[in-house]
Each structure stands twice: as C-alpha cells, then as structure tokens.
Amino acid sequence: MTETAVENEQAEPVVQPPSSAVSDEQLVAMLVDRARSEGLQLTGEGGLLQQLTKRVLESALEGEITDHVGYEKHDPAGKNNGNSRNGTRAKTVLTDVGPVEVKVPRDTAGTFEPQIVKKRQRRLTGIDEMVLSLSAKGLTHGEISAHLAEVYGAEVSKQTISTITDKVMDGMAEWQNRPLDRASRSCSSTPSTSRSGTGRSRTVRSTW
C-alpha cells in the first residue's frame, strides 16, 4: 500500500560541484545518450532518472536501517539482538523527476525513523543534483558524503553518513552492473575509483 501523506517542502541544499564538473548542457547530453543506449526515456514514468533516484533513495534508507539496528542485512549477528529488520513498506514521494515509489525499511521495535524520506513526507528535493552527477560521470566517496551531509543535516553523525554513503555507492554499482540488453552492452564503461571512509577502494562506473 502506498503512503500519501503531506509535509512541507524542504529547501534544496547548495553543494559545491567537484573540480571535474561538466556543464549542465554536457551533463544532460550524457544522460540523454545513456537513456537512449538502454532503450529508456530520460524522464517520465519508468525513465532513467526515476530509476536512478529510486536506487539512491533506497540505498540511503538501507544505510539508515543498518546503522539503526547495528548489523548488515542477512547477517546472523542480527538474530536475537533485541531489534531487527521487519520488511519494508511502499511509499511514493514527489521528486524533481516525478513521483518515485520507494521501499522504506521497518524494524521490529518500531523505533526506526527514516531521515532521507521522513514519515508523512510527500515531496523530496535536494537529491536530484547528486543523482545527475553520480549517474553521468561518477562521484567520489567524499563528494557523495559531503552532499548527503548537507541533505541530512548536523543531527546525523559522520559515522552514519559514512555508512549511508557506502550503501549508496554499493547500490549504484549494483545498478550499473545489472544485466543489460545487447545495445547497452555495446557501450563503453569508464571506472571512477574512490576511497571510502573505512579506507576501502571503491569504484562507481559511468556506463556509456
């Protein structure tokens, strides 16, 4: 069942672009080419930007629930620890790229309070810039972390932001490495390597 509650719109955070930033026109052209190569429209229902926004939001929510319950998904350490994952609920939020349905995690204790998509929040802003840059040319762990810190605010710890950032990068890597059709497989792939706050080398690819 889709939740349709209303909350005041949030101001979109201002984030300094990375040194490798491209112009808006180049960014749009890159995304249009990518959507075409994958047989998708760029905007609209089921479009590339909707899919990417959904992936980023759900990955961030997975980072939040992981930090809240204290264990990774499917980790046996989560058994009998007093609180654990309890499935998800569907919620539709209005974004700059249109309505996006996301799966919001739940916990057995009922104490999980999602932050990137708050309860009763219907409209979401401030994510589209990161989605565009991440999907078109890739962002480092530090750049994603800085953007998420602006989105979440000072009440969320640096460690939590790092956990969420890891999940966002993992989610994007999984999405970009998903099975593609023949036209998509013919596109080139340019890796962008970064290092997470835990010292691990991370790679997010921009596929063209």
Going residue by residue through the chain, which has 208 residues, state the pLDDT in tens, using 9 for 90 and above.
Answer: 444 443 444 444 333 444 344 565 666 677 677 677 767 676 677 777 888 899 999 999 999 999 999 999 888 877 777 899 999 999 999 988 889 999 999 999 999 999 999 999 999 887 877 787 776 666 788 988 998 888 888 788 999 999 999 999 998 888 777 775 544 443 334 343 444 444 444 444 443 3
Query: Residue 43's pLDDT is what?
Result: 67
The DSSP bridge partners found for residue 99 are: 94
The DSSP bridge partners found for residue 169 are: none
Q: Where are the alpha helices (DSSP H) in the chain?
A: 24-37, 48-69, 128-136, 141-152, 158-176, 182-185
Instruction: Please tell me what DSSP assigns to residue 46.
Output: T
The model scores a pTM over 0.85: no
Q: Which of 119, 118, 123 is nearest to 100 (CA)?
A: 123
Residue entry with tokens 């939740």:
3
Token pair for 157 = 């710890």
Taking the CA of residue 177 as centre, how many other CA atoms within 13 Å lie in the half-sphere pointing to its CB?
Answer: 10
pLDDT tens-digit map of 27-72:
667 767 767 776 767 667 777 788 889 999 999 999 999 999 999 9
Give the separation between CA 141 and CA 89, rounded to whole angstroms. 28
CB 173 within 8 Å of CB 48: no
